[in-house]
Amino acid sequence: MVNHLWKNSTNVKGELDALVYRSNLLGFDRSVCNYGGGNTSVKTKELDFNGKEVDVIWVKGSGADLADAQQKHFTALRMQDITLLKERETMSDEQMVNYLTNCKMDHSHPRFSIETLLHAFLPFKHVDHTHPDSIISICCADNGEEVATELFGDRYVWVPYIRPGFDLSKMIWEKVAANRNAEFVLMEKHGLVTWGESAKECYDQTIAVIQKAEIFLERETSSHPFGDVVVNSISDDERNEMLQAILPVVRGCVKENKRNLIVTHDESEEVLDFVNRERAPLLSQIGAACLITLSIQRGHHCLSNGILQQKRCRN
């Protein structure tokens, strides 16, 4: 279960500090955000180069990781210029990037997230966009919207999968504006968007939605979603002997490919339980959860006949 980690701290002073603190808490749990994934924002007032107070959005820079992001990893952009984009019907990625580059308050700031407009178009002070495992499980299901309605009623907005960019951002803004009861957005094959008028309110909402989805999945999922156990774990001594034989080969392969990688080894109960079950060979090769489609049925997760299909999205 994702834990609520917020603690009032005297070290958090001002909106930008609170944004960094919230981001670090979200990134700390990899079931909420993978490395480099997700983005957060806050809207503030800042002084421009002329000393004039202007409305600004601070958004996580592209490539930064929420877990250890600092103020230097966020980019400030002028809201007055961004708001004008709501009048456009369409915009290519290249046009959007060029336009937003000219909206930056300081050109030394990092490159902005491709989902900057998603944050900017929503009329809320604080916005979180995350990719929680439990939410992805619902948003990747071919009956996901049906499950979401059963779980959340009319408190959410569902958006179909399209690539991040102008069109997705405008669609989310319009759908949220059309639903007065909307408290968050579920993005098909993509993730979760929440908001609040304070950093803590936004964080509280993100964690609350994730936890509700987790409770549902725990209740509805089979106790053996990966199939029956088909092999038994070997002893610790045998495993260590095997690793000593294999790891030098892995090291050699990495060196030949001239890639800087760190290899980790995990023999936890959860990992062994997975690799020993009948569906492990299939599931381990499918890839990230946002690239498959599942169907959630009472008592288990399945696709048609109870196994996973590789229905890949266009991302």
**SS (HEC) of 205-219:** HHHHHHHHHHHHHHH
Residue-wise pLDDT for 168-202, tens only, equals 999 999 999 999 999 999 999 999 999 999 999 99
- Report yes or no on 8 lying in a domain: no
3-state secondary structure 135-164: HHHHHCECCHHHHHHHHHCCCEEEECCCCC
DSSP calls for 251-310: HHHHHHTT----------HHHHHHHTBTTHHHHTTT--GGGSBBEEETTEEESTTTS-B-
Model pLDDT, residue 288: 62
Q: Do 197 and 251 have their domain in common?
A: no
Same domain, 124 and 42: yes
Short-list 280, 270, 207, CA closest to 33? 207
Clarify whether residues 52 and 109 are in a common domain.
yes
One domain for residues 152 and 265: no
User: Both 206 and 278 in a single domain?
Assistant: no
Q: What is the model's pTM?
A: 0.81
CATH number of the domain encompassing residue 134: 3.40.225.10
What is the total count of domains within the chain? 2
Q: What amino acid occupies position 33?
A: C
Does residue 204 sit in the same domain as residue 258? no
Among candidate residues 187, 220, 253, the one where a domain is terminated: 220
Residue 230 lies inside a defined structural domain of this protein: no
314 part of a folded domain:
no
Domain that holds residue 166: 15-220
**Among 220, 254, 271, which residue terminates a domain?**
220
Is it the case that residue 296 has pLDDT exceeding 60?
no
Which residues, at least 6 apart from 30, have a Cβ–Cβ distance to it below 8 Å? none
Distance CA 32, CA 26 (A): 6
Do 184 and 279 sit in the same domain of this protein?
no
Statement to judge: residues 207 and 242 lie in one domain: no
Q: Are 192 and 209 in contact (CB under 8 A)?
A: yes
Asked whether residue 9 is assigned to any structural domain, the reply reads no
Q: For residue 33, how far is the Cα from the chain centroid?
A: 5
pLDDT value at position 290? 53
